[in-house]
Amino acid sequence: MESTVEIRVPDIGDFTGVPVIELLVAPGSVVRVEDPLVTLETDKATMEVPSPVAGTIVSLSVAVGDTVSQGSVIAIAEVAAEEVAAQEPAATSPAEPARATATQPPGATPAPGATPAPGATPAPAGTQPDPAPVVPEAADPDGGLRATPLVRRLARELDVDLAAVAGSGVKGRVTKQDLLAHYERGITPAGTTAGAGIPPIPEVDFAKFGPVRRVPLSRIKKLSGPHLHRSWLNIPHVTHADEADITDLDAYRRELDEAARADGYRVTLLSFLLKAAAAGLRRHPEVNSSLAGEELVLKDYVHIGVAVDTPDGLVVPVVRDVDRKGILELSRELADLSTRARDGKLTATDLQGATFTISSLGGIGGTHFTPIVNAPEVAILGVVRSKTAPVWDGEAFVPRLMLPLCLSYDHRVIDGALAARFTAHLADLAADVRRLVL
């Protein structure tokens, strides 16, 4: 005996209004448990929604471009009766309805499993219905602006008046892309600029000087740009530079890496830096904090974000409980996270909860740089390529492998002395890896 069940978006962390960018199944597709159904793209990465049941897809409740949140129905599946019984608690649990990107015409039938948003008003008499029936959105209670709650919240975070944003959506709706484009131009209703009156960069017709090509930014870059801009404008950045002698560490790392290759993974310098940073964060808890008004939130856990270069831009997956893991375990986890980041397979959990970030350019080059603090964190460590340099040992200059360290920090929380102590502690640990076990 078979029956149908609703497949809903599982827990995807704090993300809401997430766009559907790819449908991986169609009505009639036979799926197994954990088979991917749709691909979502958050502000930080893409993720696939797996099937919680085995059966046949009867219908899809979403299309490419629709937005969903935790609990939104994405498909109806026909499954065996025993499978329905196993899924009953999940199927009957409260869930948030999906948010759509366009209004639903009067009299249209909602998609299977979709729930109309409360308080939505029908289109005025005489207007033409929209071409496709989807779930309606509520109008903004302040002034009747048509925008999703996600867009209104983002507008508040960016300090942008939605009344000044030209909407390109149906019936003038302001989309997220409209808001971000407006913000990047630096326009506000009073003719001033976003970000406390900073004048916008004037537009230039580059074609006057020679041939040009225009390519769109990746979605990750479009969405991370405002976050980086906001962090740079709101955080008084200072960067402290130091060097670590990693001659002995690198020799030990090469031994571990040689053995690890047989097991299919690599031991990189980043694993040691994670471990050293975790020890430093434990010794200096202010660096492992966040500023909340006039209080510091000191975190009793150490989750470190690692910037990973992908074809679409940088993403920052999070390695959890770094202080409780050894070098080999961290190396395996880094390899897994890096692979999934480049393949677009990271989950929402993989991208949340960091207390500190490391950005390594060691495989590329450079001497020093200023990484931007990833708010609400208060510090970020940047590392570049190590180099052999003559170092005075008290009797003679000897060749040593030196690693530049660049710590950017929020000067409201961390002063220069603390930054110097923290970075010096990292350098001491890197110079003698035996201290990591103390």
* Residues 232-287 pLDDT 10s: 989 999 999 999 999 999 999 999 999 999 888 999 999 999 999 999 999 999 99
pLDDT the model gives residue 86: 56
**Res. 368: pLDDT tops 90:** yes
Q: What are phi and psi of 35, to 5 degrees?
A: -65, 135
pLDDT the model gives residue 105: 38
Mean confidence (pLDDT) of the chain: 81
Q: How far apart are the C-alpha atoms of 111 and 133, rounded to whole Å? A: 8
Select from 14, 17, 13, 61 the least CA-distant residue to 37: 61
**Res. 124: pLDDT tops 50:** no
Of 91-95, 153-157, 187-191, which has the strongest mean pLDDT?
153-157
Please identify which residue in the block is written with the tokens 């040689």: 258
CB 389 within 8 A of CB 367: no
**Res. 117: pLDDT tops 90:** no
Radius of gyration, CA atoms only, the chain = 26
Torsion of CA 401, 373, 184, 147, to 10 degrees: 140
Mean pLDDT of 136-157: 57
pLDDT the model gives residue 165: 85
CB 49 within 8 A of CB 38: yes
Q: Out of 198-207, 246-255, 421-430, pick the least confident.
A: 198-207
CB 290 within 8 A of CB 376: yes
Q: Out of 276-285, 307-316, 367-376, 401-410, pick the least confident.
A: 307-316
Mean pLDDT of 107-118: 42
**Res. 20: pLDDT tops 60:** yes
pLDDT the model gives residue 318: 96
Question: In percent, how much of the chain has pLDDT > 70?
Answer: 79
**Res. 386: pLDDT tops 70:** yes
**Res. 410: pLDDT tops 60:** yes
**Res. 426: pLDDT tops 90:** yes
Q: Out of 155-169, 345-359, 399-413, pick the least confident.
A: 155-169
Of 77-81, 150-154, 258-262, which has the strongest mean pLDDT?
258-262
Pick the residue with more confidence: 103 or 409? 409
pLDDT the model gives residue 251: 95
Q: Which residues of 355-381 are buried (b: 16+ CB within 10 A; e: fewer)?
A: bbbbbbbbeeeeeeeebbbbbebbbbb
Question: Is 284 annotated as catalytic?
Answer: no
Select from 339, 249, 357, 376 the least CA-distant residue to 302: 357
Pick the residue with more confidence: 310 or 273? 273
Q: Out of 10-19, 183-192, 228-237, 337-346, pick the least confident.
A: 183-192
Q: How far apart are the C-alpha atoms of 270 and 265, rounded to whole Å? A: 13
Instruction: Say which of 229, 284, 411, 425 is annotated catalytic.
Output: 411
**Res. 194: pLDDT tops 90:** no
Tokens encoding 385 = 């390529």
pLDDT digits (tens, 9 = 90+) for 47-68: 788 999 999 999 999 998 899 9
Select from 246, 247, 382 the least CA-distant residue to 307: 382
pLDDT the model gives residue 84: 56
Residue 151: pLDDT band (50, 70, 90) is: confident
Tokens encoding 161 = 């008046």
pLDDT the model gives residue 183: 75
pLDDT the model gives residue 171: 63
Residue 435: pLDDT band (50, 70, 90) is: confident
Residue 176: pLDDT band (50, 70, 90) is: confident
Q: What are phi and psi of 310, to 5 degrees?
A: -125, 165
Please identify which residue in the block is written with the tokens 């074809």: 311
pLDDT the model gives residue 312: 78
Q: Return the bridge partners of 310, or none.
A: 313
pLDDT the model gives residue 173: 77
Residue 225: pLDDT band (50, 70, 90) is: confident
pLDDT the model gives residue 164: 82
Residue 311: pLDDT band (50, 70, 90) is: confident
Q: Which residues of 168-196 are buried (b: 16+ CB within 10 A; e: fewer)?
A: ebeeebbbbebbbebbbebbbeeeeebbe
Pick the residue with more confidence: 5 or 13? 5
pLDDT the model gives residue 43: 65
